[in-house]
């Protein structure tokens, strides 16, 4: 399966971001991609006023998600992107949506909120309580996780336990000391320790690093972007995946299971 990863700098105007996402969808469809991964926070940018996320959020049947979903109509490309959705208590949920052929096929609500490096996502965002989500995509099993989730190896392992062969990882990875190193280490580690592909999309711009990449099941970065908008491409091979899991059978050799119960609720 051909994988496309789109990277762009979100604007405060959701209509501009929708046009950007639709153009990337058109490129992915034209390139015969089975999967397109777009960034977290594709709906709108929140830099100087994080609380503005509450006013900018839209429901899943609102114009932004509807515009994404409709753009996939008539194609077999699955598009995964991050948006913010009203939670009902004045805050919002950070949600990944998966769309294909004019239908919303799955959602995943971010479990681990970015309360780190002096920031508090939980001031404005309610964490999910759902189990990790794996979807069918062009004959592949694709797991979904969002940004800060990558710092929790049990999350990726739970997706692997559900059969994930590819992990789609939309992010808005904030700049900071050693943050680009953290990003590369953890994205490659999640691929290597679960012998799966990871397709990671990073928002770029004045706050975030971009650095989108696709990593193969043996932890090799197959394609990557810098800090400018763009699209990258990589091919996932069933034969390559099988060979990697035969050569490095970590999923068979492990001695411990991951408990899927939530440790705590925020």
Q: Is the pLDDT of residue 85 over 90?
A: yes
Residue 182 maps to which CATH number? Answer: 3.60.110.10
258 within some domain:
no
Q: Is the pLDDT of residue 171 over 60?
A: yes
Domain that holds residue 224: 2-253
182 within some domain:
yes
Q: What is the pLDDT of residue 239?
A: 98
Q: What is the pLDDT of residue 165?
A: 98
149 within some domain:
yes
89 within some domain:
yes
180 within some domain:
yes
233 within some domain:
yes
Q: What is the pLDDT of residue 88?
A: 87
Strands 78-86, 213-215: pairing is: unpaired
Say how many C-beta atoms besides its own lie within 10 A of residue 227's C-beta: 17
What is d(CA 135, CA 208) in angstroms, rounded to the nearest whole number?
28
The catalytic site residues sit at: 40, 110, 147
Q: What is the pLDDT of residue 52?
A: 84
What is d(CA 47, CA 119) in angstroms, rounded to the nearest whole number?
11
**Global pTM value:** 0.97
Please tell me the total count of domains within the chain: 1
Whether the Cβ atoms of residue 29 and residue 77 lie closer than 8 Å to each other: yes
What is d(CA 80, CA 201) in angstroms, rounded to the nearest whole number?
10
Whether the Cβ atoms of residue 230 and residue 39 lie closer than 8 Å to each other: no
263 within some domain:
no
Q: Is the pLDDT of residue 105 over 60?
A: yes
Q: Residue 104 is encoded by which pair of tokens?
A: 């919303």
Q: What is the pLDDT of residue 49?
A: 72
Which pLDDT tens digit goes with each residue over 9-67?
999 999 999 999 999 999 999 999 999 999 999 998 876 677 888 999 999 999 999 99
Query: Of all residues in the chain, what percent carry a pLDDT higher than 90?
Result: 91
Which pLDDT tens digit goes with each residue over 225-265?
999 999 999 999 999 999 999 999 999 999 999 998 887 65
Q: What is the pLDDT of residue 265?
A: 57
Helix (H) or strand (E) segment spanning residue 55: helix 53-56
Q: Residue 174 is encoded by which pair of tokens?
A: 């904030």
- CA dist list (Å): 79 to 58, 70, 92, 99, 160: 18, 11, 22, 5, 20
16 within some domain:
yes
């Amino acid at each position: 399966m051909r994988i496309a990863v789109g990277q762009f700098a979100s604007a405060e105007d959701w209509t501009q971001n929708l046009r950007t996402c639709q153009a990337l969808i058109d490129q992915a469809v034209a390139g015969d991609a089975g999967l397109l991964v777009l960034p977290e926070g594709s709906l709108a940018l929140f830099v100087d006023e994080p609380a503005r996320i509450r006013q900018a959020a839209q429901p899943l049947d609102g114009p932004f998600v509807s515009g994404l979903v409709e753009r996939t109509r008539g194609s077999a490309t699955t598009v995964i992107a991050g948006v913010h959705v009203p939670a009902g208590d004045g805050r919002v949920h950070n949600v990944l949506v998966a769309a294909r052929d004019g239908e919303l096929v799955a959602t995943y609500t971010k479990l681990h909120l970015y309360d780190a490096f002096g920031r508090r996502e939980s001031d404005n965002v309610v964490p999910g309580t759902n189990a990790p989500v794996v979807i069918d995509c062009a004959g592949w099993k694709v797991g979904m996780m969002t940004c800060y989730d990558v710092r929790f190896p049990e999350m990726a392992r739970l997706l692997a336990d559900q059969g994930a062969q590819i992990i789609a990882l939309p992010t808005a990875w904030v700049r900071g000391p050693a943050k680009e190193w953290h990003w590369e280490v953890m994205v490659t580690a999640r691929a290597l320790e679960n012998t799966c592909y990871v397709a990671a999309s990073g928002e770029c711009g004045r706050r975030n690093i971009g650095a989108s990449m696709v990593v193969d099941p043996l932890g090799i970065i197959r394609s990557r972007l810098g800090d400018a908008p763009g699209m990258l491409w990589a091919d996932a091979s069933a034969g390559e995946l099988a060979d990697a899991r035969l050569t490095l059978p970590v999923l068979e050799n492990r001695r411990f299971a991951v408990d899927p119960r939530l440790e705590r609720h925020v």
